[in-house]
């Protein structure tokens, strides 16, 4: 096999992947925002005292964990228009983002739920004993402590999502991977194109990792629930 380094560098330094990279990043952000919202709702429902809500959360988790995300993507893009007699016919970009966000919401539900139950129940008790309402105790006392547990795995989910967006090539969303497939189906330089595609994903992953580290450092700096021994004189 010969590696066509000229083709490789031409593709690498062309502007062909700039819009697709922004598309990939945009889909990742919007899908994760949707997933985090769903995750908070799902976690509240899963932990609520209302049985139908818990049941609903349970079904949501079971369904989205059990059905391949590629099936869900095609469902939103191709099946929904048929099912609704074209009343709902979403552009591929939107259908794909919704599918990814809904699916990811199930995983975020689990992450947020385990963050919430990791907070000592005595914290909520003390808040309630001081006269806080349920929502106040959640917002002021439980959630800030749960966030420190929730943030690190959520960062990992962002990075996983970034890579999962490549599945949207199946419905021809112009993201990084589908742009690559378009190129190699014309010039048959599979290896060179996939190498460039990989470099773009690696670069975006590195970017997200940097953001993740910065966020974790900021949370860590407000040293909260962590029971680390902190050298005297360093506090406050």
10 Å Cβ neighbour count for 33? 12
The smaller minimum CB distance to other proteins, of residues 6 and 235, is found at: 235
Those residues with Cβ within 8 angstroms of residue 54's Cβ, 6 or more apart along the chain or in another chain:
45, 46, 47, 48
| Spatial contact of 34 and 109, defined as CB atoms under 8 Å apart | no
Size of the site for other proteins (CB under 8 A): 28
| Shortest Cβ 226–other proteins spacing (Å) | 8
| Shortest Cβ 112–other proteins spacing (Å) | 17
From residue 147 to residue 166, the character string flagging contacts with other proteins as x (rule: CB under 8 A) and all else as - is: -x------------------
What are the backbone dihedrals phi and psi of residue 114, each rounded to the nearest 5 degrees, phi first? -70, -30
65 contacts other proteins (rule: CB under 8 A): no
From residue 105 to residue 144, the character string flagging contacts with other proteins as x (rule: CB under 8 A) and all else as - is: ---------------x-xx-xxxxxxxxxx-x---xx--x
Show the tokens assigned to 9.
């560098």
Those residues with Cβ within 8 angstroms of residue 157's Cβ, 6 or more apart along the chain or in another chain:
32, 35, 104, 107, 108, 111
168 contacts other proteins (rule: CB under 8 A): no
Give the closest residue to 96 by CA, choosing from 35, 168, 24, 26. 168
| Shortest Cβ 53–other proteins spacing (Å) | 16
Could you identify the residue written with the tokens 């470099």? 199
Which residues contact other proteins by CB under 8 A? 120, 122-123, 125-134, 136, 140-141, 144-145, 148, 222-227, 230, 235-236
């Amino acid at each position: 096999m010969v590696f066509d380094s000229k083709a490789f560098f031409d593709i690498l330094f062309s502007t062909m992947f700039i819009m697709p990279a922004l598309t990939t990043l945009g889909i990742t952000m919007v899908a994760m925002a949707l997933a985090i919202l769903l995750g908070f709702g799902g976690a509240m429902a899963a932990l609520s005292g209302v049985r139908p809500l818990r049941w609903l959360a349970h079904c949501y988790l079971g369904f989205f964990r059990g059905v391949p995300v590629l099936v869900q993507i095609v469902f939103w893009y191709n099946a929904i228009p048929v099912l609704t007699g074209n009343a709902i016919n979403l552009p591929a970009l939107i259908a794909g983002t919704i599918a990814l966000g809904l699916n990811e919401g199930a995983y975020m539900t689990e992450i947020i739920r385990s963050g919430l139950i990791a907070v000592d129940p005595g914290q909520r008790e003390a808040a309630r004993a001081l006269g806080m309402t349920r929502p106040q105790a959640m917002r002021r006392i439980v959630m800030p402590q749960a966030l420190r547990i929730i943030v690190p795995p959520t960062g990992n989910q962002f990075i996983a999502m970034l890579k999962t967006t490549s599945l949207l090539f199946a419905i021809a969303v112009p993201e990084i991977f589908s742009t690559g497939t378009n190129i190699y189906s014309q010039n048959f330089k599979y290896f060179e194109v996939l190498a460039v595609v990989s470099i773009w994903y690696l670069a975006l992953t590195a970017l997200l990792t940097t953001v993740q580290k910065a966020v974790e450092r900021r949370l860590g700096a407000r040293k909260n629930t962590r029971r680390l021994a902190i050298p005297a004189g360093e506090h406050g």
